[in-house]
Each structure stands twice: as structure tokens, then as C-alpha cells.
């Protein structure tokens, strides 16, 4: 029984109806199709947020103004700026046309263009997410190789550790790491924003749970691959058990894990928002949470749309990569 972890997530890999096409060597077609699908989903997401604002209780102007709803000058400006006196479909088209040109409106609490605020704050968040992703992959591969190693007593030990990591919320890990390594031991100061020391603990608290999760996925894949005939062949040709695991089984197991990476980018971005709060880091998370608390809608929409765009882009790239890496899926290029 080795499929537990993987089947827990397999629903997401269920192919959608009408997407099964046989395309031969149609790489460009595949990429174009995927990118188009990503753009369409993003467009639908933007439309959904537009509709959500229209449907939300309270009038749109007050919603957009947040705390400043009683300021008549700002109110007039908002109506003017968002064209709220125009028919709904005109408003929708204006809203849609602004986004590609990078005009995401103006934050009412910070009185600055949303695009500018995002540009300033995106750097630290994406750095954090990227470092955490890299860390998670390293942790996952090391963990998987240890668990599948012939040293039997290590397996329950590492598995138990991984179970704890998968179950612990990253913001709690962040609190524990902060207390232990920053306050008690004083190894990593979080005071100097932008230094590598300040990045270690936030990245670790995001990477540990995701690394453990990926590792469990890899392990179930490796276990299954090691039972395949081609492993016996490589073993018969004289490759060591470790080499067979690294060169062949791991490669096999990487595919389901790769498919999960797209989703993991999403959970990283969501997790980063919360972990940034623990460490008091500047970033999109801080920006977004502050905006939610004062209902600064243009800012909330801007941050959500930008992160959603990154998420959709990552899923699209992972989808294309997955198809390219696995020769078996060539038959039904989606």
C-alpha cells in the first residue's frame, strides 16, 4: 500500500471532459492552448471579482472608499475615476481595459497607485516564496531518499517527523522557530530587513511543511517505481541500490510531485502572507492584511489579482513541463 498520499491529491489531476485530444508533435499547439486557457481563467477571475464587488452588500463607492467613505471630495473623485455613474457594462469594460495597462486604481488609505505599492512589496514576498520553494525541494528529495533507504529504523523516524511537519501550520512553526533560533539561541536575527539571516527562518517555516508533503509524495512514487521491472534490469546491470533510486526511481516519482508544484506555489503565496506577519516582514502579505482590515478594496483586488496571475502562470508552466517530461502523456496532449 503505497499510494495513500498520492491518491489524496489525485482528484486534481483528473482530466477534464473534452480536453483529451490526440496531437502528434503538436508542442506549439499544446503551449498555445495552455496559455490561452490560463488567460481565459484569469479573465474569468477578474470578471468574478468585478461581479463580487457589484453584488457585495453596501454601495460600491463606500466599499471602494473603505474608511474614507464620508469624505465628499474623495467620493466624487472615486465616482469620476471608476466611472461609477456609467452603465454597468461600460464600467466592466473600463475595469477590464485598465488591468492589462497596469492601472489597478489608487489605494484609498495609502493614497498611492496600487500598481506602485505592489511593485515595491512584491520583491521580498517573491524572494521568500522562491527560497522556500527551493528549500522544500531539497528537503523533499533528502527526506525521500532517507525514507526509502535500506536502513529500516530510519523510516518510521523520518515518517513521523514528516507527519508532524505536514500537520503543523506554517505560522506556528514560524513562531516556534522565531522563539527558538532568534530569541533563545540568537542565531538568526530578524531585525535586519533584507539580510539573508532575516530570510532563513521565514523560508524554513514555509519550506518544512511543503518539503515534508512533497517527500511523502516522492516516497510513494519511489516505492512503486522500485517494484517495476526496469529497476531489476538496472540492478542486474550492476547499478547500486542508491544509484537505482536516484537515477531511475526518483525520476519516476518526480512526476506526480511536479504536478503538485503548481498548487504548492499557491499555498506558498498564501502561506507567505501569514508568515510575513509573524516576522514583521515587509511584503505583499503585510500590504494585503492591512488593506483587508481597513477594507481598502482597490488594494485588496490588486494584490489578489497579481498573486492569482502568478499562481495561474505557475500552474500553466508546470502543466506544460509535466507533459514535456513524461513521454507517456504525448498520446493525449491536453
Partner 1 sequence: MTAVSIPSGGLFAAHLPRWIRGIRPTLVLSLLVLAVAASAAIAPGLWTHTDPLHADPLAARQPPSLAHLAGTDIQGRDVLTRIVYGARFSLLIGLGATLVALGLGAILGIVAGVGPRWADQLVTRLVDVVAAFPEVLLALLMIALSGRGAINLALALGVAGLPKYARTIRATVQQTRCAGYVEQATTFGASRWQRLVRHVLPNALGPLPVMVTIGFGGAIISSSGLSFLGLGPQPPAAEWGLMLAESRNYLRQTWWTGVFPGVALTAVVMAATVLGRHLQERYERRLP
Within 150-179, the residues that bind partner 1 by CB under 8 A are: 155-156, 159-160, 162-164, 166-172, 175-176, 178-179
| Long-range contacts of residues 109-113, Cβ cutoff 8 Å, at least 24 apart | 109/66, 109/67, 109/68, 109/290, 109/291, 109/294, 109/296, 109/299, 110/296, 110/299
Q: What angle do helix axes 114-147 and 250-279 make, rounded to 10 degrees?
A: 130
**Hey, is 106 helix, strand or coil?**
strand
Number of Cβ within a 10 Å radius of residue 99: 18
Distance CA 124, CA 133 (A): 14
Distance of CA 71 to the CA centre of its chain: 38
What number of chain residues touch partner 1 (CB under 8 A)? 73
**Among 206, 207, 260, 291, which residue sits at the site for partner 1 (rule: CB under 8 A)?**
291
**Among 139, 200, 249, 312, which residue sits at the site for partner 1 (rule: CB under 8 A)?**
312
| Segment lying near partner 1 (by CB under 8 A), choices 21-29, 39-47, 100-108, 227-235 | 39-47
Q: Using the minimum distance from each CB to partner 1, give the nearer residue, 234 or 313.
A: 313
**Among 295, 298, 320, 323, which residue sits at the site for partner 1 (rule: CB under 8 A)?**
295
**Among 122, 241, 277, 334, which residue sits at the site for partner 1 (rule: CB under 8 A)?**
277
**Among 107, 125, 307, 323, which residue sits at the site for partner 1 (rule: CB under 8 A)?**
307
Q: Using the minimum distance from each CB to partner 1, give the nearer residue, 115 or 288.
A: 288
Contact 170, 209 (CB under 8 A): yes
Which residues neighbour 242 within 8 Å (Cβ) at sequence distance 6 or greater?
Answer: 145, 149
Rg of the chain taking only CA atoms, in angstroms: 24
Chain positions 87 to 116 lying near partner 1, rule: CB under 8 A, are none
User: How far apart are CB 281 and partner 1 at their closest, in Å?
Assistant: 13
**Among 267, 317, 326, 334, which residue sits at the site for partner 1 (rule: CB under 8 A)?**
267
| Segment lying near partner 1 (by CB under 8 A), choices 7-15, 25-33, 230-238, 324-332 | 7-15
Contact 273, 285 (CB under 8 A): yes
Torsion of CA 290, 293, 296, 299, to 10 degrees: 40
User: How far apart are CB 44 and partner 1 at their closest, in Å?
Assistant: 4
**Among 64, 140, 244, 288, which residue sits at the site for partner 1 (rule: CB under 8 A)?**
288
Q: Using the minimum distance from each CB to partner 1, give the nearer residue, 122 or 234.
A: 122
Cell 482530466 -> residue: 15
Contact 126, 306 (CB under 8 A): no
Q: Does 39 bind partner 1 (CB under 8 A)?
A: no
Chain positions 194 to 233 lying near partner 1, rule: CB under 8 A, are 216, 219-220, 223
| Segment lying near partner 1 (by CB under 8 A), choices 75-83, 196-204, 251-259, 288-296 | 288-296
Q: List alpha helices for 56-192, DSSP H.
A: 60-65, 72-82, 88-98, 114-147, 154-167, 170-177
Q: Using the minimum distance from each CB to partner 1, give the nearer residue, 234 or 290.
A: 290
Distance CA 303, CA 286 (A): 11
User: How far apart are CB 57 and partner 1 at their closest, in Å?
Assistant: 8
User: How far apart are CB 176 and partner 1 at their closest, in Å?
Assistant: 6
Amino acid at each position: 500500500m503505497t499510494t495513500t498520499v498520492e491518491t489524496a491529491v489525485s482528484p486534481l489531476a483528473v482530466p477534464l471532459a473534452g480536453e483529451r485530444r490526440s496531437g502528434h508533435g503538436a508542442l506549439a499547439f499544446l503551449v498555445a492552448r495552455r496559455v490561452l486557457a490560463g488567460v481565459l481563467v484569469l479573465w474569468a477571475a477578474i470578471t468574478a471579482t468585478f461581479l463580487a464587488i457589484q453584488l457585495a452588500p453596501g454601495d460600491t463607492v463606500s466599499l471602494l472608499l473603505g474608511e474614507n467613505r464620508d469624505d465628499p471630495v474623495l467620493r466624487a473623485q472615486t465616482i469620476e475615476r471608476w466611472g461609477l455613474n456609467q452603465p454597468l457594462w461600460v464600467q466592466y469594460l473600463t475595469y477590464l481595459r485598465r488591468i492589462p495597462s497596469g492601472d489597478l486604481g489608487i489605494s484609498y488609505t495609502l493614497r498611492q497607485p496600487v500598481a506602485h505599492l505592489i511593485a515595491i512589496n512584491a520583491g521580498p514576498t517573491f524572494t521568500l516564496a522562491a527560497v522556500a520553494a527551493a528549500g522544500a525541494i531539497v528537503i523533499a528529495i533528502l527526506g525521500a531518499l532517507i525514507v526509502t533507504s535500506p536502513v529500516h529504523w530510519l523510516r518510521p523516524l523520518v515518517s513521523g517527523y514528516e507527519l508532524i511537519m505536514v500537520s503543523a501550520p506554517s505560522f506556528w512553526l514560524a513562531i516556534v522557530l522565531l522563539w527558538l533560533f532568534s530569541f533563545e539561541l540568537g542565531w538568526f536575527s530578524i531585525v535586519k530587513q533584507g539580510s539573508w539571516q532575516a530570510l532563513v527562518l521565514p523560508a524554513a517555516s514555509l519550506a518544512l511543511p511543503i518539503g515534508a508533503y512533497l517527500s511523502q509524495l516522492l516516497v510513494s512514487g519511489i516505492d512503486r517505481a522500485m517494484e517495476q521491472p526496469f529497476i531489476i534490469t538496472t540492478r542486474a546491470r550492476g547499478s547500486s541500490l542508491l544509484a537505482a533510486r536516484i537515477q531511475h526511481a526518483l525520476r519516476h516519482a518526480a512526476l506526480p510531485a511536479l504536478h503538485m508544484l503548481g498548487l504548492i506555489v499557491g499555498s506558498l503565496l498564501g502561506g507567505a502572507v501569514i508568515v510575513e506577519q509573524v516576522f514583521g516582514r515587509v511584503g505583499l502579505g503585510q500590504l494585503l492584511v492591512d488593506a483587508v482590515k481597513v477594507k481598502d478594496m482597490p488594494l485588496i483586488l490588486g494584490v489578489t489579482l497579481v498573486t492569482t496571475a502568478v499562481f495561474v502562470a505557475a500552474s500553466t508552466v508546470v502543466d506544460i513541463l509535466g507533459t514535456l517530461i513524461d513521454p507517456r502523456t504525448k498520446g493525449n496532449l491536453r
